[in-house]
Amino acid sequence: EEKHRAVVIGWTVPTGVMLLLCSLGLLVGRRAPATSRAGCVRCGEEDSLHQLMAALRDEAAKRGRDSDLGKFEKLRKLGPQGQTSPKQVVEHVVLQLGAGNDEAAFAFTSLPPWRAGTHRSNTDWSKRMDWAKSRVISGQPSGALVDESSFGQLLSERFAFLRQTQAYRLVGDDSEWQQKRGREKMTAVKEYVVEVETADGEDRLVKFVLVYNWLVHCHLISNVAVLSANTERYFPGTGSDLSQHDI
């Protein structure tokens, strides 16, 4: 029985990778019958795929197609945008703070409703919610505000450990939208608990509260609270290994 495989730059690749290449217009070979099992060039499948994906990333970057560079990279470049889940927002902020990018964290911080304009382009985004002093009342952020400079000072005084994050993982409901089997709206207030491990070897349990912003069609962080400096006490066994998401 004759079988067909996708041949790309001399490689035999799985169907899933073939479809991805087709979507980018990078399928440079053609569907060709494999003459025989003995005639197939067998090299390490893992090495071949690594080379193929490296070529794919290089080509996507060369073409400047942000949609192919990964969601977190897109968030870093473009900021808040539609179709971004609150889980992705939290993870993006944790990753960026661990990399020393305070500006990204400020960009994903809530704006109070009384400062919102009719469109994101005519809204003053210079001041955001104070993570430590804001509260969510009736689904809207309320409380003290900070500008970008004061936000950096806030991080230094209250959340400096987030800048030293080496690894993290979400605790509890870590679903993308926390819809609880349809009982919660996608745009409802969301809460994510994250366990972080710092460069000093300390474990911190942190809760992020997010409110949906209709100007950017994305959840933004309104309040951050440190629940514990020793997660082992509340979650036995979780404090010893945070290798799920290393930074």
The pLDDT tens digits for 29-45 are 444 444 444 444 455 66
**Beta-strand relationship, 31-33 and 11-13:** unpaired
Model pLDDT for residues 144-183, shown as the tens digit of each residue: 999 999 999 999 999 999 999 999 999 999 999 999 988 9
Are 159 and 133 in contact, with CB atoms under 8 Å apart?
Answer: no
Across the chain, how many H-helices and E-strands are there?
Answer: 6, 12
- What b-and-e string marks burial along 12-47, b requiring 16 or more CB atoms within 10 Å of the CB? bbeeebbebbeeeebbebeeeeeeeeeeeeeeeeee
Q: Is the pLDDT of residue 8 over 50?
A: no
Q: With cut-offs at 50, 70 and 90, classify the pLDDT of residue 15.
A: low
Of 55 and 37, more confident = 55
Model pLDDT for residues 214-238, shown as the tens digit of each residue: 999 999 999 999 998 765 544 555 5
104 CB-near residues (< 8 Å, 6+ apart) = 75, 76, 79, 92, 93, 96, 97
- 3-state SS, residue 223: strand
State residue 71's pLDDT score.
85
Q: With cut-offs at 50, 70 and 90, classify the pLDDT of residue 116.
A: confident
Q: What is d(CA 84, CA 177) in angstroms, rounded to the nearest whole number?
A: 10
State residue 142's pLDDT score.
96
State residue 65's pLDDT score.
45
Residue 206 β-bridge partners: 194, 226
